Structure 1
Amino acid sequence: MQRKTDRKNQQGEETRVRILEEAMRLMISHGYAGTTLAMVRRATGVSASSIYWHFANKESLIAAALEHAYRTQASRLPNWLDTPPSQVRRDDLYAELIRSPAAGVDMEYWRVGLQLAVARPHEPILARDRFLQIRRESVEWLAQWWRRTLPADMEQKDLASILMGQLTVGIRECEVLNLYELRRLDAEPLNKLIAACLDEIAVRIVEIAAERPLDTHPVVKDQPFETTSEGSRELFVRATKDVIMELGYDGVTIVRVCEKAGLPASSLYWFFKDKDELIATVIEEACQGWASIRQNSHLRPVDGDWSVLARRHILPALDGSAGGGVLALGLLLLLQRSDQVYAGRKELELVMQDGFEVTVLWFREMLSPMLEEPKQEDLARYFTECFFRLLESSLLSKQVEDQLWDPALLADLISTALYRVAGKVQDGTTVLDLVHQ
């Protein structure tokens, strides 16, 4: 009798796992809204009554599917905290970065979670809450690792550890974006460079924490929309951008935009035929803003310290000003499913690639005295990729965290780290050699 019960329980668990895995596969292909229990039933061949035996509704199924994907992956990876720290923190970072989940199918469930996380709905969504809990667990786990590497007498060690944990999780999240095929670099030197920069960011945080508080402030839902002397069309465009940044592209509705702008829908339809045209206009204007600032020439400072110039590149992206918001809009768009086509998507992707190439040229100029001509291009590309990964990590955290860090603090950390790591490069040094100096 016991054997029969055990076999029945095992079959029930196998059915449950099959339902979870098929639900996640469908979510990756069709998104949260596009996945239904009927689709899961057809894909698994499991009856509706059996699905409902395991899960009360779609909400609980999707939440459990995210949890299952995360736990399955985590069980296959070594526990970073079990590894005794070595004498060189950047070497430990590199050793773990290369063991982090690779881009592709294995991390697609995380993209689904991020798609849910970027929206801030008024009513709770169980699957979204579950993913944020999973993400928070990852941040806290990495924060524990960082905490043991910081000075024992550091007063703001807990805050610093959380910030480093968020940056490290963000670096891993960048792998799920469909952007890097256009700028693919060798993983080994890139991860060594990222590890070296994370190490320098931690050093800089210790310095800053000794001088001032590492303050955060909460995300404010439904931030007041500042009415200006702009015409109605411009108000609608700005309101649409605000909604995108608050709720993601899927959160844009005519009703929300009109409520944000404080204008009736009848006025909106004088200028735009539908939601897609609104979104396309926001993207187009962001691209135009980028085109205006990309023309700015930044020559290498006489004293060689280009970290201040780097800060000026970073701040607009983090606070969304002066054309810098194009990167944040692009990241949110890249989180959407590939079958969701918005007018202007291709243009935005091209602008982001252009931004990468322009930044390569900028780094070539900044690094030019350090390396011979043939090696400048190669190193500039690795520094540019590292620059974007750190920036994108900060932007992703900004979208999903309940507490926001001061953009000026993040800009200081990223620019200082890149400058200090670059300062370690000597003539003839390769990126592979960088972290062994």
Structure 2
Amino acid sequence: MAQRKTDRKNRQGEQTRERILEETMRLAARHGYEGTRISMVRKATGLSASSIYWHFSDKEQLIAAALERAIGAHLQVIPTWPEFASGEDRSADLYGQIFQWPREDFWRFGLQLAVVRPPQEAPARDRFLQIRRESIDWLARWWKPSLPELMEQRGAGSLLLGTLTLAVRDSYFLRRHAGWNFDENRIVWMLALSLDAMADRLGELAADSEIVIEREPPQPAERAAAENGRQAFLQAAEEVIAEYGYDGVTVARVCERAALPASSLYWFFKDKDELVAEVVAGASRKWEAVRPVLASRPGRGNADWIAPLRAQLRDVLAGTSAGSGILRLGLLLLLRDGSRASVGAGQLETVMANMQAMTTEWFATVLPEEASEEQRSELAECLSECLFRFLEGMLLSRQIDAHTWDPGLLADMLAVGLHRAAVQFLAGSEPPARN
């Protein structure tokens, strides 16, 4: 009898713990690390604070455990990825298995943790970074056998392809894509075709001569001296956001970083929201400077638009590879839950939508005249979406990972990959049926 009571009590305790972790992950995915409070977990679960603290000593331990639980559930349901074998269809495997990982909100939350640079240890962030590195390493091992056996840079090349593959998946979690009227299956299929062609291109380039795959990471820019109090607060707010995220901005943190009193802040800004809105507005203007603007048009029906696309992407990728706190601010904004009101989010999304519309127009101009107007229109939209997913995913990767890939090589591979996908689209290539 006593044993049954003990077992029942243990089961109830485990059920309570599971409920706490489930609600914590749901709240963290929506509100971010800084925005999640124990009081919110208490309200969501209906439990007392003492019940929560019985299982977890503090918020850091609670969120780390919630993320660990979500990761464990994720690893149990992901498909068994196939090992590469000569003659198998890589693009079909990418489309049917690798790109179809469960799209759980915990991954968006993990990306938010990964993009910031907290000044103190963060176990939840470290755990997610470990899982993300393991994912890239697995994908690199999947790609490696498909590269030429005699390729001297086979290891670095497979790591680049693994990074590109995960970057495409990461881009799904940026808010800009929510609500866009795309045939997601079509987009994923074209991304798979592009990556397949990019791997072929990497092998071709390496067969001809040694190529630059990795570059030395750029040195971080020195902190600019603020000209006045207003600029000092804006610069301090940028740094606080980069370390804690938007939900971690407090007047106290900004004033401490700016080395100015709170009374001075309110002289320039009505409140914290106005300060953050100005930071976001500045980020939007600077973000626009690194978006692809494909202005030079070879003319309708140009048979080879790889060269002009490659040339312009090289400049774009060179700019983003240098890294920037401003780019990090934009990514953090776009990684926020779409159901939450975000100061300045609409402005940044408008900038991005305008840039993508211009890119779509460029693609429509260079596609073959033999294609119907409807085909050109649909294909141009798909190519533009694929391009931006690659660019945004790589930009996100650049803010998280230590590797810096050669912009010229990336531009070449990406231009070739998109061109191959376009050719197969016009040839009637359709996404394969899923099992």
SS in 1 for 2:199: helix
Deviations 1:111-139 (A, max 9, x none): 11111111112222122112111212222
Q: 1:26-37 residue pairs with structure 2 within 5 A?
A: 26-37=27-38
* Cα pair 2:34 2:244 within 8 Å, conserved: no
| Cα deviation, residue 334, structure 1 | 1.0
Taking only the aligned residue pairs, the percentage that are identical comes to 41
State the one-letter code of the partner of 1:286: K
| Cα deviation, residue 60, structure 1 | 1.3
| Cα deviation, residue 193, structure 1 | 0.8
Q: Which residue of 2 aligns with 1:57?
A: 58
* Cα pair 1:119 1:246 within 8 Å, conserved: yes
Once residues 234 and 41 of structure 1 are traced to their aligned partners in structure 2, the CA distance between those partners, rounded to angstroms, is 39
* Cα pair 1:193 1:434 within 8 Å, conserved: no
Once residues 307 and 394 of structure 1 are traced to their aligned partners in structure 2, the CA distance between those partners, rounded to angstroms, is 20
SS in 1 for 2:416: helix
Larger relative contact order (CA 8 Å, sep ≥ 6): 2
Q: Which runs of 5+ in 2 are unaligned?
A: none
| Cα deviation, residue 316, structure 1 | 4.8
Q: Which runs of 5+ in 1 are unaligned?
A: none
Q: 1:233-382 residue pairs with structure 2 within 5 A?
A: 243=239, 247=243, 250=246, 275-283=275-283, 285-286=285-286, 289=289, 294=293, 296-300=295-299, 304-320=303-319, 330-338=330-338, 339-343=340-344, 345-369=345-369, 371-382=371-382
Q: Which residue of 2 aligns with 1:416?
A: 416
Q: Which residue of 2 aligns with 1:79?
A: 80
Confirm whether residue 145 of structure 1 aligns to residue 142 of structure 2: yes
Deviations 1:288-332 (A, max 9, x none): 7589x85934234997332232234434543447xx989876433
* Cα pair 2:81 2:98 within 8 Å, conserved: no
Pair 163,9 (structure 1): closer, same or farther in 2 beyond 3 Å: farther
Once residues 260 and 200 of structure 2 are traced to their aligned partners in structure 1, the CA distance between those partners, rounded to angstroms, is 49
SS in 2 for 1:154: coil
Q: How many residues end up aligned between the 2 structures?
A: 422
- Report the aligned-residue RMSD: 4.0
Moved more, 196-205 or 8-17: 8-17
Q: Which residue of 1 aligns with 2:42?
A: 41
| Cα deviation, residue 141, structure 1 | 2.2
State the one-letter code of the partner of 2:430: L
Q: Which residue of 1 aligns with 2:400?
A: 400
TM-score, normalization by structure 1 = 0.81
SS in 2 for 1:215: coil
Pair 364,219 (structure 1): closer, same or farther in 2 beyond 3 Å: same
SS in 2 for 1:286: helix
* Cα pair 1:20 1:68 within 8 Å, conserved: yes
Pair 283,223 (structure 1): closer, same or farther in 2 beyond 3 Å: closer
Pair 32,234 (structure 1): closer, same or farther in 2 beyond 3 Å: closer
Moved more, 363-372 or 259-268: 259-268
TM-score, normalization by structure 2 = 0.81
| Cα deviation, residue 66, structure 1 | 1.1
